[in-house]
Structure 1
Amino acid sequence: MPLGELVTLRAMGPADADALWRWNHDPEVMRWMDDTYPHSVEQVRKWQAERPRNAYGDLLLGIEALADGTLIGLVMLQDAEPEKGIAKLDIYLGEKSYWGKGYATDAMRTICRYGFEDMRLHKVTLTVVTENHAARRVYEKVGFVEEGRLRQVFRRDGKWYDMFTMGLLASELR
């Protein structure tokens, strides 16, 4: 299991469905996330139970606080191909009491280190809504740089927002 200073990353399963359902139904947590139509907790449990096991191209890990073992969020590396050495990263912390305390930064460093060292990735990419300043600060702290801008691709509260594409090369991880 990838281990950071504040967090450990571990496989997720059906037992995590309640937390996942709660986070996905919290408007503050989902503010800058792509969300889907509402699902019942039973549907989330079924999705977790039937989800294929983690693999190189599709890795979903829970973020657990080392101090107390609480599941506080999740992180994903997707669309990785060994021939290209690039993966797309998604992350969020669902437990708001852990926001602003360094957990997201540590989780980012931990998953990127895992991707570069264990998966032999060369680059990790992500997209972030331009107005999501807290997330952008976290990404920049670990070394991500802005590589481009996608115009008006995210809609929230009747308004269209741009998104930044950001990338991190293995040599840039801080």
Structure 2
Amino acid sequence: MHVWELDEEIAMASGITKPRSLEVFQTMYEKYFFNVNQSLQLYSIVLDGRVIGRAELGLIDRENGQAAFGIVIGERSSWGKGYGKEAILELLDVAFNALHLHKVYCEVYTFNERSLNMMHSLGFHQDGILREHEFFHEAYHDLAVFSMLEAEFRTAFEKNSK
């Protein structure tokens, strides 16, 4: 996963301003795994025994029934093959069926056409644009905010499982 962070295109789409050293990267993930808490769940996306990406449910708010999610397919050879879409559907299944959440949401940079297209194809609602919301790589960038409600998931899942 550290190699993905060093890939300029993946880093840009993920909002990584400065790749971390391998040591810092490993320390960060050790903290995730050893200090497991109720507001974050990390998942590996595995294909043929190798990790090709990761997904997460974060900022899990049980009181309000919502969580943010993120995903990255880091293996370029796996891009465009539906693995990200499949992983998001599985993540949504966990969010709505196991965690009994009401809503999941995400933010996508408006320059990230692939992710924007995927959110639309999965039936996410675009809630709005956070204009010039994040500054990195010497410029401000807009973020599109997407959400899906549990009832909408039922429709999207049925459509994508046929």
State TM-score, norm by structure 2.
Answer: 0.86
Q: Which residue of 2 aligns with 1:40?
A: 21
1:150 alignment counterpart: 130
Within-5 A mapping of 1:87-166: 87-155=67-135, 157-166=137-146
What's the counterpart of residue 27 of structure 1?
A: 8
Q: Are 1:75 and 2:20 counterparts?
A: no
Deviations 1:82-105 (A, max 9, x none): 111100111111111100000111
Residue 151 of structure 2 corresponds to 171
State the shift of 1:43 in Å: 2.3
The alignment status of 1:56 with 2:7, answered yes or no, reads no
Query: Kindly, what percent of the aligned residue pairs are identical?
Result: 28
Q: Residue type matched to 2:124 in 1?
A: F
Structure 1 residues 149-158 or 111-120, which shifts more?
A: 149-158
Structure 1 segments (4+ residues) deviating >6 Å: none
Structure 1 residues 135 and 155 mapped into 2: Cα distance closer, same or farther (>3 Å)? Answer: same
> Counterparts of 2:139 and 2:22 in 1: how far apart (Å)?
29
Kept in 2, the 8 Å contact 1:29–1:96? The answer is no
Q: Secondary structure at the match of 1:32?
A: helix
CA shift, 1:53, in A, is 4.6
Corresponding pairs, count: 153
**RMSD of Structure 2 on Structure 1 (CA):** 1.6
Measured against aligned partners, the alpha-carbon deviations of 1:35-92 in whole angstroms (never above 9, x if no partner) come to 1433221222222223245443111111112xx1220111111111211110011111
Letter of the 2:10 partner, please give it: V
Say whether the 8 Å CA contact 2:15–2:136 is kept in structure 1: no
Look up the SS of the partner of 1:88 in the other structure. Answer: strand
Q: Is this contact kept in 1: 2:13–2:109, CA < 8 A?
A: yes
1:129–1:154 CA contact under 8 A, matched in 2: no
Q: Answer whether contact 2:55 2:72 (CA < 8 A) is retained.
A: yes
Residue by residue over 1:10-58, the C-alpha shift from the partner in whole angstroms, topping out at 9 and shown as x without a partner, is xxxxxxxxxx210111102112222143322122222222324544311
SS at 2:28 equivalent:
helix
Richer in helix (by share): 2
Which fold has the larger relative contact order, with Cα–Cα distance below 8 Å and residues 6 or more apart in sequence? 1
